[in-house]
Amino acid sequence: MTFTHLDADRHPTMVDVSDKKASKRTATAQAHVKFPGAVAAALRDNGLRSPKGPVFDTAIVAGVMGAKRTHELIPFCHPLGLENCRVTIELEDDTAVIRCTVSVHHKTGVEMEALTGASIAALTIYDMCKALSHDIVIDSVRLLAKDGGRSSYALKATP
């Protein structure tokens, strides 16, 4: 097995992308935040606001900020000047469904940026709602699709 992030002496290193061709790269990730029924009802009744303020609007801003700063959080992620980052959040029954789509014209992909954006948005929702309940569950953080570079990927089925 070849380890891409180890040098000849088996020390951690960033992957050299200098010889790669720049192309448009896009990735979409998703996360779920499951609420107790009373919390979901309170959010609906209060225009998606908690005692801390507008929950989904705040999470959208946080998700975009997180995606843009992924290289500061994940070792060996290349710093990317994201050209687009869109975070959407829908309340479906008792679950907030977060989607983060990121795109860039670069030599490396944006999967980690999309996953980070979705994760930070989910954590922000938890923080904004924890005064209502600590029985909130973040789960199903996953990559839905990526395009560009050497390969493309699309999740075949959603569990």
**Domain coordinates of the chain in residue numbers?**
34-146
Q: What pLDDT, on a 0 to 100 scale, did the predictor assign at position 97? A: 98
Give yes or no for residue 159 having a pLDDT over 70: no
Q: Which fold has domain 34-146?
A: Alpha-Beta Plaits (3.30.70)
Q: What pLDDT, on a 0 to 100 scale, did the predictor assign at position 1? A: 72
User: Among the options 57, 93, 127, 139, which is catalytic?
Assistant: 127
Q: Does 127 participate in catalysis according to the annotation?
A: yes
pTM for the model:
0.90
Average pLDDT of the chain is 92
Q: Which amino acid is at 15?
A: V
Residues 6+ apart with CB under 8 A from 115: 27, 29, 100, 141, 142, 143
Is the Cβ–Cβ distance between 55 and 48 less than 8 Å? Answer: yes
